Amino acid sequence: MAKNALRKTSKMHFENYEDAFQVGTNEHIEYGPLKEEVIKCLKESIYELSVDERKCFISYYYYTKTIAVIAEETGLKESTVKSKLLRGRKKLKLKMEKKGFRYEDCKIFFE
Angle between helices 51-61 and 32-47 (to 10 degrees): 130
| Full set of structural domains in the chain with CATH | 33-106 (1.10.10.10)
pTM of the predicted structure, to 2 decimals: 0.66
- Give the pLDDT of residue 67: 95
Scanning the chain, the segments in alpha helix (DSSP H) are 2-8, 32-47, 51-61, 67-74, 78-98, 103-106
Residues 6+ apart with CB under 8 A from 19: 9
- Give the pLDDT of residue 61: 85
Confidence label for 6 from pLDDT (cuts 50, 70 and 90): low
Question: Which 8-state DSSP code applies to residue 101?
Answer: -
What is the per-residue pLDDT across 11-68, written as a single tens digit (0 to 9) for each? 444 445 555 455 444 444 456 677 788 888 888 888 888 899 999 988 998 889 999 9
